[in-house]
Structure 1
Amino acid sequence: MKRSTLSRLLGLGLACAILLPAPPASAADNFPSRPLRFIVPLTQGSGSDSVTRFVAELVGKDLGQAAVVENRPGADTIIAVQSLLNAPADGYSILMISPSAMVINPLVNDKLPYNPRDIRPLAAAIRASAVLVTGANSPYKSFADVLAAARRKPHTVSLANYSYHYRLGGLQLQQMAGIDLNHIPYKGAAQVQTDLMGGAVDLALLDVGGALPLLRAGKLRPLAVTTRTRHPELPDVPTVRESGVANYELSVWIGFGVSSKTPEPIAQKLEASLLKALGTPEFRNFAARTAYAEVLAEPGKQMGTMIASERVRYGQLVKTYDVSAR
């Protein structure tokens, strides 16, 4: 081929290359370009709020944008969920999710204004233990004492609960232990703690992190922790399993999600950043020393499997005890 012909062909190829449009950019390439919003369905200062603020700061640094935390408590997390779903599905609004929003609300509320499928799980963050406690002046020195009293006089031992999660956990406990307790609903943990100390109620299931200050002050007495193994902050307190109720387990997890309509490349970018944050030594140290919790750091798909499993387990309890929204 003559040099002049070759030159013309090369020139034509270069011109065509210049005229061809560039491949479209991924939806996640320029994300985020403004601050992120983390929505918490609880009041400021709660353990879950503290965890979310710590994670939000790490994610913001990783993605190069500020991350603000907005507390939207009330209506059994429904207000916060609607805040997420009413916002544009662009990944800029991220919801802290828990069993309340994803598992229990759909089981007990037949007028729920959302479907849990509307939320795409991103990452499971932590799993916290619960502890069965009584007042410092209570006659119950051990969980064995509780079992004996409840079997001797059914419905006389009272168990306070301040959420559907703990109500169902208490129902499962009595079912597996073969006892009948007197379940008393409360609106919040603070009043439960006050009534425990005053002897107005016998027992309660509380977050370990929330109960620790009163346990250390000697104002409450721990009877058993609800996880498979003993809690590192309560090494002398046996598990419910050790105390005679085989296979019992109750824990509280939190994680993060976005609207299921969020473009998948953006959801994947957020998921990767969250998992990176949850895997840092800074977060693991925070979870152990401040939240007293186990770090999960599980991706959205694995979190979805966990949620589905819990729906089956709690669904059986809801049917057995006919639990519904009060």
Structure 2
Amino acid sequence: MRTFQFATALAVSLVCTAIPVHAQAPASHDYPSRPIRMIVPFPAGGPTDLLARVVGQRMGELMRQPIVVDNKPGANTIIGADAVAKAAPDGYTLLMAIDNTLVMNQYLYAKLPYDPVQDLEPIGKVATTPLVVMTHQAGPQSMQALVAQARAGAGALSYGFGTFTSQLSGELLKRTLGKEVVSVPYKGSAGTTQSLLTKDVTFTIDGITTAMPHFEKGTLRPLARLSAKPIPTLPNVPSMSDVGIKLPDIDVWMALLAPKGTPAAVVNELNRALTQALASKDVQEKLLGAGLLADASSPQALRSFIASEAARWRPVISEAGIRID
């Protein structure tokens, strides 16, 4: 009898082991049955972190399970993205990614540990944030003054950045200026903003989330936006074209993804909660106050958008000659 029970148990164990991980994922009517982890590939305090916390809280309320933000910064968002790519595709590990996680990194690294298309499942676009050239109190009074200072060679200029989108923007701006500008990397917007407050760099190119309180106090000054669209909270900030500088229309966008193989029913449930959260007026107001514009989409639309952005930025990055390894 014991021999039969052991053999039966062993057979069941072997069958379960042979079943693919995604086939063992929970049925949609049981999902979610426990807390969900949302990985943010940046330190706490930046725009992506704030976005994840505001949207994650509302999604958790709608799904009746808490969504816990887990910050995994480093390596140009690779550490956080790779953790999600290798997680079980059961809907309990999500990634709040930005554009360079899903588009630019694949053209910067010879060996990327994750494939943004093959390893991640789109859930939906979440938000966009405009990029702004900004300086400190003692810096240039306007974008035109910064350009004049650069072209006159009046002292060394430096700029700080916390994401590759900001770095790429800075490289394109340097080419337009025709002058050497020292680039200084930081981990996310919190470090970038602090470097400007302490006057370690002349200017930064970044989203406006962490800088907004300092704009209001007058300790930091926005000079120009890289997006063609006006910024609702900074209506008087000119575009690059307004000040005679030709650059691509650039902003930073964020999206929510899961590991590849996550069941369609679970992806649809997450998209439903995400869409409802972003439609909430109080969520939109919190995001707008931080310089983030809610921007929902379907999983299919996000997949197409990622492909179009990849086609857009690949030649730009190649022409700029930027490689990290």
Q: TM-score range by the shorter chain?
A: 0.7 to 0.9
Deviation at 1:116, TM superposition (A): 0.5
- Hey, what does 1:35 align to over in structure 2? 35
Q: Matches of 1:252 and 1:202 in 2, distance apart?
A: 22
- Hey, what does 1:9 align to over in structure 2? none
Q: Does the CA-based 8 Å contact 1:240-1:248 persist in structure 2?
A: no
- Hey, what does 1:257 align to over in structure 2? 257
1:308 aligns with 2:322: no
Q: Matches of 1:192 and 1:90 in 2, distance apart?
A: 35
Q: Does the CA-based 8 Å contact 2:108-2:324 persist in structure 1?
A: yes
1:127 aligns with 2:132: no
Deviation at 1:195, TM superposition (A): 4.6
2:295 aligned counterpart, secondary structure: strand
Q: Matches of 1:170 and 1:104 in 2, distance apart?
A: 15
Q: Matches of 1:110 and 1:154 in 2, distance apart?
A: 38
- In percent, how many aligned pairs have the same letter? 27
Q: Does the CA-based 8 Å contact 2:226-2:247 persist in structure 1?
A: no
Computed over aligned residues only, the root mean square deviation of the Cα atoms, in angstroms, reads 2.4
| One-letter code aligned to 1:134 | T
Deviation at 1:166, TM superposition (A): 0.8
Q: Matches of 1:190 and 1:36 in 2, distance apart?
A: 26
Q: Matches of 2:252 and 2:115 in 1, distance apart?
A: 21
Deviation at 1:247, TM superposition (A): 5.9
Q: Does the CA-based 8 Å contact 1:155-1:182 persist in structure 2?
A: no
- Hey, what does 1:95 align to over in structure 2? 95
Worse-matched range after superposition: 215-224 or 177-186: 177-186
1:288 aligns with 2:288: yes
Superposition TM-score, scaled by structure 2 size: 0.83
- Hey, what does 1:150 align to over in structure 2? 150
Question: 1:168–1:64: structure 2 CA closer, same or farther, 3 Å change rule?
Answer: same
Q: Does the CA-based 8 Å contact 2:46-2:209 persist in structure 1?
A: no
Q: Matches of 1:184 and 1:266 in 2, distance apart?
A: 42
Aligned positions of 1:16-55 closer than 5 A: 27-55=27-55
Question: 1:294–1:145: structure 2 CA closer, same or farther, 3 Å change rule?
Answer: same
Superposition TM-score, scaled by structure 1 size: 0.82
Instruction: Flag structure 1 segments of 5+ consecutive residues without an equivalent.
Output: 1-25
Question: 1:41–1:196: structure 2 CA closer, same or farther, 3 Å change rule?
Answer: closer
- Hey, what does 1:108 align to over in structure 2? 108
- Hey, what does 1:172 align to over in structure 2? 172
1:137 aligns with 2:138: yes
2:307 aligned counterpart, secondary structure: helix
Q: Matches of 1:273 and 1:174 in 2, distance apart?
A: 42
The number of aligned residues is 298
Deviation at 1:151, TM superposition (A): 3.6
| One-letter code aligned to 1:73 | P
Aligned positions of 1:199-210 closer than 5 A: 199-210=199-210
Worse-matched range after superposition: 162-171 or 188-197: 188-197
Deviation at 1:164, TM superposition (A): 1.7
Question: 1:57–1:215: structure 2 CA closer, same or farther, 3 Å change rule?
Answer: closer
Deviation at 1:169, TM superposition (A): 1.3
| One-letter code aligned to 2:109 | N
1:29 aligned counterpart, secondary structure: helix
- Hey, what does 2:320 align to over in structure 1? 321
Q: Does the CA-based 8 Å contact 2:173-2:247 persist in structure 1?
A: no
Aligned positions of 1:52-67 closer than 5 A: 52-67=52-67
- Hey, what does 2:229 align to over in structure 1? 229
Q: Does the CA-based 8 Å contact 2:37-2:94 persist in structure 1?
A: yes
Q: Matches of 2:291 and 2:164 in 1, distance apart?
A: 22
1:227 aligned counterpart, secondary structure: coil
Q: Matches of 1:183 and 1:250 in 2, distance apart?
A: 21
2:30 aligned counterpart, secondary structure: coil
Deviation at 1:65, TM superposition (A): 2.1
Aligned positions of 1:181-200 closer than 5 A: 181-188=180-187, 189-190=189-190, 192-197=192-197, 199-200=199-200
| One-letter code aligned to 2:291 | Y
Question: 1:264–1:194: structure 2 CA closer, same or farther, 3 Å change rule?
Answer: closer
Question: 1:248–1:81: structure 2 CA closer, same or farther, 3 Å change rule?
Answer: closer
Deviation at 1:98, TM superposition (A): 0.7
Alpha-carbon displacement from aligned partner over 1:35-60 (angstroms, at most 9, x marks no partner): 22211112223222222122222222
Deviation at 1:32, TM superposition (A): 1.7
Question: 1:272–1:178: structure 2 CA closer, same or farther, 3 Å change rule?
Answer: same
1:159 aligned counterpart, secondary structure: strand
